[in-house]
Amino acid sequence: MPIPTPARRVSEGNASPAGDTPPPSLTRRVSVARAVIVVCIFVAAIPASSSFAQEFIARTVDGPQPAAPILHWSPAWDVSLGGKSPRKLPGVELVSVRRAGERLPPFPARDFLLLTNGDRIPYAPKKPLLLEEERLTFTPKWSDASVAVPLAYVAALCRSLPEGDEDGEILLRRLLVSKRPNDQVLLAGGDRVEGRLVALSSAQGIRVKQGDSESSTPWDKMSLFAPRPEFLAKPRPKGLFAGLVLSDGTRMQCTRFTLETGAAHWEATTSFGAKVRIPLADLRAAQLRQGCAAYLSEKTPKAFEHTPFLGVSWPLVADASVSGRPLRLTGQTYEKGLGMHAQSRATFALDGKQRWFEAWVGIHDQAGPRGAARVSVLADGRPVAGCSQVEIRAGRAPLAIRADIQGVRELTLLAEFGPFGDVQAQVDWVDARVLLEK
């Protein structure tokens, strides 16, 4: 970082004759100028990505902690915070960390890999991408080093979303769940090629075998490649792991995530086994999974009821809005949560060992300006204080919920008609989770 230009020094033409004492006002100006120079040099000496100026809000079972810089993140997931009240947070009690004052970015829109576990990793489009021995080698956009991921973990390689589809995100979600016998190559103009993959590289494009013949698609003509589902698998980490959010929209699960004191990068091991280094300034948030927090979207509901309006029925959707798009509230995009449509009721069975229920609930950003509903949370059939028949509307900040559910055996989420009835009543329950007792 260049040193800012300091306050102008006293020029030789204004200097006092040798042996004369400068006037007090001039002495003060010189002292101030020297102080400014010292401060500027001190600030310039701090790396732009230093954790010195990067404060995070950590959430534990006890709730959000005061914003503070992260000084150290150990392999055991324990986090040491600095600031006015230095402290250490045990990884087993950590729910998430999020950079103070920063919004969660949207998912990447082009030049990214969609993995079978939901990860989205942008790749550097000007660096080689090559499939060899069933492993796809690429360079993440935020990295200088290439990594390799098993092709079986790649749900889609997306250069851009195909033209003509009603919504690219709905297309990607459909590719994740649809059954098809062949690999698919979607072209930029909307056409598609189906067959069995023969070769793939950014230098030579994609070759697909169709019966006894082969077809070749240049890289710049391809929009998206999706392997056949029967070929795919999903990485399944054991124990604690973290779901990371980076500034470019990256979503990536890591089985190891560390920061050494004074380091310029986060060190991480991805769920597919690659070791990566992430610049300090790029981290926006991290959620701890398979620890003290259990997400409702990963549980099968005990019961779900939807009251159709004019015969239109809506499902309960895990980790997406009810329309199949990413969970999005007031311009922020979330990975975990539930999508519902008024009028609906979802009930989840608990074992009485959970301490808190947390969620942020609002009308999905793309629902429309008339979107509205009334939401409630019931614990063993009783309304939870502060979340009973609360009206939510499009464009408003989401309702933050933290409810004591100690000893509760059934948790019910309600989304009922608002002032406009069924119209645009798409409800997102983002980060809906129960926290275990310490």
**In a domain? residue 196:** yes
pLDDT at 415 over 50: yes
Supply the pLDDT for residue 70. Answer: 96
Q: Is there a domain that residue 126 lies in?
A: yes
302 and 407 belong to one structural domain: yes
Residues 311 and 428 in one domain: yes
The answer to whether the CB of 173 falls within 8 A of the CB of 161 is no
Q: What is the pLDDT of residues 185-236, one digit of tens each?
A: 999 878 889 999 999 999 999 999 998 899 999 999 999 999 998 889 999 9
d(CA 404, CA 316): 24
The helix/strand/coil state of 428 is: strand
What's the 3-state SS for 381-400?
CEEECCECCEEEECCCCCEE
Nearest C-alpha neighbor of 99 from the set 67, 130, 127, 72? 67
Tens-place pLDDT, residues 387-411: 999 999 999 999 999 999 999 999 9
List, in sequence order, the alpha helices (H) in 326-379: none
Asked if residue 2 belongs to a domain, the reply is no
Beta pairing class for 222-226 and 183-187: antiparallel
Q: Which two tokens stand for residue 22?
A: 């400068």
User: How far, in Å, CA of 86 to CA of 51, rounded?
Assistant: 14
Q: What pLDDT is attached to residue 400?
A: 96
**What is residue 41's predicted lDDT score, i.e. its pLDDT?**
35
3-class SS of residue 269: strand
Token pair belonging to 384: 């939870």
Lowest mean pLDDT among 174-178, 186-190, 236-240, 380-384: 174-178
Predicted confidence at residue 10, as pLDDT, reads: 29
Angle at 83 (CA atoms; ends 79, 85), nearest 5 degrees: 80
Distance CA 138, CA 164 (A): 28
pLDDT per residue as tens digits for the range 133-154: 999 999 999 999 999 999 999 9
How far apart are alpha carbons 285 and 243 in whole angstroms? 8
Lowest mean pLDDT among 55-59, 82-86, 344-348: 82-86
Whether 227 and 361 map to the same domain: the answer is no
- Phi (first) and psi of residue 311, to 5 degrees: 85, 0
Cα(265)–Cα(281) distance, rounded to whole angstroms?
9
Instruction: Judge if 219 and 336 occupy the same domain.
Output: no
CATH code of 152's domain: 2.30.30
Total residues found in the chain within this entry: 438
- Shared domain check, 427 and 298: yes
User: How confident is the model at residue 169, as a pLDDT?
Assistant: 86
- pLDDT tens digits, one per residue of 244-297: 999 999 999 999 999 999 999 999 999 999 999 999 999 999 999 999 999 999
Instruction: Report the distance separating Cα 339 and Cα 296, nearest Å.
Output: 11
Sequence-distant (≥ 6) Cβ neighbours of residue 340 within 8 angstroms: 314, 316, 317, 322, 346, 413, 415, 426, 427, 429
pLDDT at 311: 77
**CA 186, 189, 192 angle in degrees (round to 5)?**
30
Provide the 10 A C-beta neighbour count for residue 260: 13
192 and 309 fall within a common domain: no
- The encoded tokens of residue 362 equal 């609002």
Neighbour count for residue 106 (Cβ, 10 Å) = 13
Residue 163 binned pLDDT confidence (cut-offs 50, 70, 90): low
- Average pLDDT for the chain: 87
Quick one: CA torsion of 37, 38, 43, 44, rounded to 10 degrees?
Answer: 60
The more confidently predicted of residues 88 and 22 is: 88
pLDDT at 4 over 60: no
Residue predicted with more confidence, 32 or 188: 188
Q: How many CA atoms lie within 13 A of 228 on its CB side?
A: 12
Which CATH number belongs to the domain containing residue 359 in this structure? 2.60.120.1060
- Helices and strands (DSSP H and E) totals, the chain: 2, 36
My answer on whether 305 and 184 are in the same domain is no
**How many CA atoms, within 13 angstroms, populate the side-chain half-sphere of residue 306?**
19
Quick one: which of 331, 278, 332 has its CA closest to 70? 278
In-domain check, residue 316: yes
Given a cut of 70, is residue 16 above it in pLDDT?
A: no
pTM of the predicted model, to two decimals?
A: 0.85
* Structural domain includes residue 185: yes
Q: Is residue 334 domain-resident?
A: yes
pLDDT bin (cut points 50, 70, 90) of residue 39 is very low
Q: What is the CA radius of gyration of the chain?
A: 27
pLDDT digit string (tens) for 334-362? 999 999 999 999 999 999 999 999 999 99
> Confidence band (pLDDT; 50, 70, 90) for 52?
very low
Partners of residue 339 on adjacent β-strands: 317, 428
Residue pair 335/319 in contact by the 8 Å Cβ criterion: yes
What is the pLDDT, as a whole number, of residue 174?
83
Give the pLDDT score at 164. 52
Burial degree of 262 (CB within 10 A; 0-12, 13-18, 19+): exposed
- For residues 302 and 422, membership in a common domain is answered with yes
**Which pLDDT band, with edges at 50, 70 and 90, does 309 fall under?**
confident
Same domain, 304 and 221: no
Q: In terms of domains, do 38 and 154 share one?
A: no
Q: What percent of the chain has pLDDT over 70?
A: 87
What is the SS3 assignment for 84? coil
Same domain, 22 and 129: no
Q: Determine the pLDDT at residue 220.
A: 93
Let me know if residue 378 belongs to a domain. Answer: yes
CA distance 218 to 396: 46
CA distance 165 to 346: 31
Residue 132, pLDDT above cutoff 70: yes
In contact, 436 and 354? CB cutoff 8 Å: yes
pLDDT at 22: 37
Domain residues for the domain of 213 are: 112-231
Asked if the model's pLDDT at residue 44 lies above 90, the reply is: no
Segment 20-27 shows an average pLDDT of 39
Q: How many domains does the chain have?
A: 3
Residue 217 and residue 303 in one domain? no
